[in-house]
Amino acid sequence: MFKISIVDTPCKRTLLVEGKLVPPWTDELQRVSREARQDLEQRKLAIDLSSVTVISPEGENALYELMRDGAKFSCGGVLTKYVLKQLARRSGSRFRDILMTVTGIIAL
C-alpha cells in the first residue's frame, strides 16, 4: 500500500506519505512533489513520513533529492529518523535543519 495526501495551510504544503516507499512508488513521490512545488507561493514544502513503514534505497534517493531541493521533513519512527539523519549528513545539512514541526518552526 502507498498513499500521498496533500494538506495546504497558509505557511506550508505538506505531503503526507503513507506505506512503503519502494519502487514504483518512489517515482510517484517525485512526480507529486514536482507538481506540489508548482504553486507554493512562498510556502514551504514539508514531507510527513510518520506513516511510512519501509524505505528502500531508491526511496532514500528520492528523499535525498527532496532534501536537496529544500523540503522539510517530519517523522515518527526511530528507523525513519535514522534514515533522515543519514541523508542529512550525506547532503551536508544538519539534521535539525531538515525538520519541520507542526507549527512550521524547525525542530530541535
Domains of the chain, with CATH numbers? 2-98 (3.30.750.24)
Q: Alpha-carbon distance 81 to 51, whole Å?
A: 12
Tens of pLDDT, residue by residue, the chain (108 residues) = 899 999 999 999 999 999 999 999 999 999 999 999 998 988 999 999 999 999 999 999 999 999 999 999 999 889 999 999 999 999 999 999 999 855 444 443
The residue whose grid cell reads 514536482 is: 34
The model's pTM is: 0.88
pLDDT given at position 76: 85
Q: Alpha-carbon distance 70 to 18, whole Å?
A: 21
Amino acid identity, position 25 = W
Q: Alpha-carbon distance 96 to 27, whole Å?
A: 26
